Amino acid sequence: MKVLLSAASFRPDFGGPARSVPQLAAALAEAGAKVGLWAPDGSARTSPLLQDMVDAARLDGGPEEAWRRFGKVDLLHDNGIWRDHHRQLARLAQNASVPRVVSPRGMLEPWALRYKPVRKRLAWWMYQRRALDAANILHATADSEADQLARLGLQRPVRIIPNGVTLPDMAQVESLRATSDETRTCLFLSRIHPKKGLPLLLKAWNELRPPAWQLHIAGPDEAGHLSQLEDMVRHLDLGETVRFLGSLEGNEKLRALARADLVVLPTYSENFGIVVAEALAHGCPVVTTHGTPWEVLETDRCGWWVPVSTGSIADALREATAMSVTARREMGSRGRKLVVQRFSWPGIARAFADVYEEAVTLHNRGR
């Protein structure tokens, strides 16, 4: 099958889909599909996240040019909504009678809809709902996202497939781990954005101030949120225990995850939360909130899944930081096993291939 995968951008500072969509493309290509990658900013050619991807066609130019250069497409898988290029791609697919799968990627979650709501409400009634109802299949990454699509009254079939995770070499991870006599590290690794709940985390950290622990905050700044957090750190006098690391990629990111004793994602809303899976893949336990679909952290005893509040985050951090190194490592090992069993890319690619075949069948029936 020849599949065109599109997203808003593949730049490292553009959030989870910038990573997961290229990794899906690589897994699909490994399974025998012919795959093209396109984003309107040309990042399919320029992003460092795609440098090693030799099995996917990296397309640039406008949507019509990319479509024409890639050649006859069997299926379009569009990731994201709201932007004008999504409308253009939907029109191209309709004109070429090509099946279409759409992954909203969390952009219809309640928190996301409340962020800049007037513009989204207008777009929803002008074109966005109609475009989604014209897709053959909608893809959700978790049950919670599928439930939200149903609440919005969308009429298309919804199929649930989680994001996959690239598994690091655990021998390399172990070689980078901190020794037992070093300061322990709690790591936040995501976009620095109001959605991520970092003020809640800083308030919880201020309440707790665990001895011999540091909080490291890593990620690209969005909407000037970093300066607000820096002001907050100064106001709370947390400068001795909180460090801002900037955006981390490649070996720097691997080292940060390998040396972390705990990863925390205090977010208000995620359709998946890729950093949770990445942390578990590195054998690191996680504290996150009910804003993510990660209840399995509790059921599989590899982390904490708590309400979105300063007090709940502080309680989880208090328990996690009081644990012995051995106990946290055991939690991390259970998390690694969970990721291997449920989130490795070969299995995820097979699930998507089945959804693509179903979309083709549905499309042909509707002709």
pLDDT digits (tens, 9 = 90+) for 98-126: 999 999 998 999 888 888 888 889 888 88
180, pLDDT greater than 70: no
Q: What percent of the chain has pLDDT over 70?
A: 98
Q: What is the mean pLDDT of residues 51-71?
A: 88
Q: How far apart are CA 288 and CA 303, in angstroms?
A: 8
pLDDT for 256 beyond 90:
yes
Mean pLDDT of the chain: 93
Classify residue 90 as exposed, middle or buried by CB count within 10 Å of its CB (0-12, 13-18, 19+).
buried
Nearest of 198, 207, 184, 232 to residue 314 by alpha carbon: 207
CA-based nearest residue to 62, from 32, 88, 83, 87: 88
* pLDDT single digits (tens) 334-350: 999 999 999 999 999 99
**Close Cβ partners of 58 (under 8 Å, ≥ 6 residues apart):** 36, 37, 44, 45, 50
pTM of the model: 0.88
Instruction: State the pairing for strand pair 100-103/137-140.
Output: parallel
What mean pLDDT do residues 68-75 have? 94
Q: Which helix (H) or strand (E) holds 304?
A: strand 303-306
CATH number listed for the domain at residues 2-164+344-366: 3.40.50.2000
User: Backbone phi, then psi, for 2, in 5-degree steps?
Assistant: -105, 115
* pLDDT tens track for 11-35: 988 878 888 999 999 999 999 999 9
For position 179, what pLDDT does the model report? 65
Length of the chain: 367
**Given this chain, do its domains 2-164+344-366 and 170-342 carry the same CATH topology?**
yes
pLDDT band at 1 (very low <50, low <70, confident <90, very high): very high
> What pLDDT sits at residue 54?
66
Please, where are the H alpha helices in the chain? Answer: 17-30, 43-46, 63-70, 84-95, 110-114, 117-123, 129-133, 143-151, 170-176, 198-208, 225-235, 250-259, 274-281, 296-299, 310-322, 325-342, 345-366
Query: For the domain 170-342, what is the CATH code?
Result: 3.40.50.2000
Q: Where are the domains of the chain?
A: 2-164+344-366, 170-342
DSSP per-residue string spanning 188-229: EES-B-GGG-HHHHHHHHHHH--TTEEEEEES-B-TTHHHHH
pLDDT of residue 151: 94
DSSP tag of 153: T
> Cα–Cα distance between 9 and 15 in angstroms, integer?
9
Pairing verdict, β 158-160 and 184-189: unpaired
Average pLDDT of the residues in 185-207? 96
Single-letter residue type at 42: G
